[in-house]
Chain A
Amino acid sequence: MERTVEVVPDAGLHARPAAAFVRAANEFEADLSVGRPGEEGVDANSMLAVTGLNVRNGETVRIVAEGDDAAEALDALEAVLTTPVEGEDGESDSETATDSDGGESP
């Protein structure tokens, strides 16, 4: 059983989305792998392997599941990959605007 999904979070398959992905994968009995379409997948239970793919946002990945709860696992992993994460990375932090020109000119 397999599914092809576009990666939505800004961080791609890194940091917080990757951690959520691996955590979700570990909740299921099914053997799960993830990779780019047409390439051999890596162990979805391994943070090292998953982040090692260096999947960026907008890329498409293929998730393969084998086992009793394969369908549920695919649903859960797809949910992680298609949920945008706000404020995941520093670029989106809003800086407190402060004025350094001090006083009185317009």
Chain B
Amino acid sequence: MRTLSGVGTTPLSGVGRARWYRPEGALSLPERPDPEAVDREAERDRFERARAEAGEALDAARDRTAERVGADEAAVFEAHRQFLDDPQLVDDIREAIADGALAEHAVADRFAEAVAQFEGMEGRMAERADDLRDVRDRLLRALLEVEAVDLAALPSETVLLAERLTPGDTAELDPDAVAGIATATGGRTAHAAIIARALSIPAVVGVGDGLATVDEGVDVLVDGEAGEVVVDPDDSRRAAAGGVEAPVRTERVRTADGRAIEVAANVGRVAELGPAAERGADGVGLFRTEFLFLDRASPPDEDEQYETITAALAAFPDDRVVVRTLDIGGDKPVPYLDTPTETNPFLGRRGIRLSLDEHADLFETQLRALLRAAASDHGDGLAVMVPMIARVEEVDAALERVEAVADDLDTAGIDHAVPELGAMVETPAAAFVADALADRLDFLSIGTNDLTQYVMAADRENEGVAELHDPLHPAVLRAIDRTTRATADADAWVGMCGEMAGDPALTELLVGLGLDELSMSAVTVPTVKAQVRETDADEAAALAERALACQTREGVRDLLGRE
């Protein structure tokens, strides 16, 4: 594994086989003939024909980009068109031809001067040099009758490497086939980078000369978030990258043998709802409500919370939206809540512990908003879960509060309904008594980040124990297994909303462990949906059984083919 650094311009990752794009290589010019021997009229005609051809191609690229990407991105081709028709350039080229140059030499020479004028300058001026090269290459390809490399028809899982990519090149790319692009030059605001971003193609630019050391055909990972190009990435790096961006599927997915798995999104702000729906999420598996409470001077009132919840339900009218009640604690104090300073906030007053006690009023307000929302237009999709459960008494108390709020709303004659109710499984205690929790509730949702932290006694923020903070330790897998078995026996459904759920390399294992729902960052929804479709539930169950029999993390990783 070897890592090269550049500037990430599309914050996505992809893995594929390296393929070099060297358009300049194909454009080798003929020898310069004796000027006296050149048929000037014929050369002039060749130039005008090439110019017309390039103009048509630019118009087509503009229209295609306007349709696929957007009017803003298409505008660059209008600029190219103006360069192509530039009276100074055109006159100079015609003059050179009149002096006895071949059309291709006239074009190459005059454009070289124009490029030199812009090259070496900063920012936007340097980008003009790219624009001019693009226009020049179009003219030269037409003159030399060189077919452009068909960038629109690259094999799937290609990582395209180039010294530079022009906006025209980039707009041609098929986002389903191209896993990523990496270029030696360029910056974040270059048009090619903007178009790649609009097409959701992972991209790293400005890698420098080191990129030339990457051989054709090797496996390359482009990490547009970290701004890294990884040659021969190891398995954990691949898994983290999530592989090739899969097509968005809005419909629900089943395993190859027909088991339905819900693939939902974790959402922390109203603004994330739309993008989550666009990525094909089957609802929201974790709607964090903390954003409503943070960065303000007083808590939100019932109506504000109601509006937010109904907005989430409206974004997913046919799907479930799982709202987690307020999950704050000493690790993230809220100024107006007077949270105590604790030596160990992760083991202190947080989540349900606060909601049932010192912040019972906030909990009641939140429940009122939730129960009212459950009776709203798409309210039958609402589900509510409580965080940080360690014992059945907390669930019983929470259910009592729900009942009391329902009674109050009844008395007041306010429309309401009781939504599906569930609990998060984040503590080893909850996993151990999952059967009792599942008896009382409609569902459980496993939060693997905290579950791992608590099972392994390893602070998720502490680099020194990072190796312990891995859900693939057998102890964590067995806690998950215990939870899923308990829900199956109790006829409750079980989901997972931790980082683990969004790792496509673990999808088969999680299906095998019996999860009904996986909820993740919206960006990984398409990839996990694709994985579900390729999974055979019986094989997955066998894999899970073998994983659960492992004694070490290494054993589990070997089984999953990780290093």
Contacts and interface: CB of A to CB of B under 8 A. Distances in A.
Interface of A: 11-12, 14-16, 18-20, 22-23, 26, 43, 45-49, 51-52, 54, 86-91, 93, 95-106
A87 B449 CA distance: 38
A51 B128 contact: yes
A25 B460 CA distance: 61
Contacts, number: 140
B83 A47 contact: yes
A54 B125 contact: yes
A19 B75 contact: yes
Nearest to A94: B271
Q: Looking at B75, B275, B448, which has the most chain A CB atoms within 10 Å of its CB?
A: B75
A102 B449 contact: yes
B543 interface: no
- Interface SS, A side: loop
Contacts of A18: 79, 82
Given A49-B88, A96-B275, A97-B275, A103 B72 contact: no
6 contacts: A19-B82, A48-B88, A89-B194, A98-B275, A103-B447, A104-B447
Contacts of A51: 118, 125, 128
B156 interface: no
Nearest to A18: B79
B329 interface: yes
Contact of A48 (B89, B290, B522): B89
Interface residues of B, number: 66
B51 interface: no
B86 interface: yes
Nearest to A89: B189
Given A51-B128, A99-B266, A104 B498 contact: yes
Interface string B114-155: 100110010011011000100000000000000000000000
Nearest to B72: A87
Interface string B79-121: 1011101111100000000000000000000000010011001
Given A103-B499, A104-B426, A106-B328, A16 B275 contact: no
B269 interface: yes
A106 B78 contact: no
A34 to B, nearest CB: 14
Contacts of B117: 48, 52
A18 B125 CA distance: 12
A46 B447 contact: no
Contact of B286 (A12, A15, A89, A104): A104
Contacts of B249: none
Contacts of A96: 275, 522-523
B449 A12 contact: no
B521 A104 contact: no
B187 to A, nearest CB: 9
B288 interface: yes
B450 interface: yes
A36 B343 CA distance: 65
Nearest to B71: A87
A88 B74 CA distance: 11
A19 B79 contact: yes
B449 A19 contact: no
B76 interface: yes
A91 B189 contact: yes
Contact of A95 (B11, B268, B501): B11
B14 interface: no
A52 B523 CA distance: 41
Nearest to A86: B72
Given A15-B124, A48-B89, A51-B128, A102 B498 contact: yes
A104 B79 CA distance: 48
Contacts of A16: 72, 75-76, 78-79
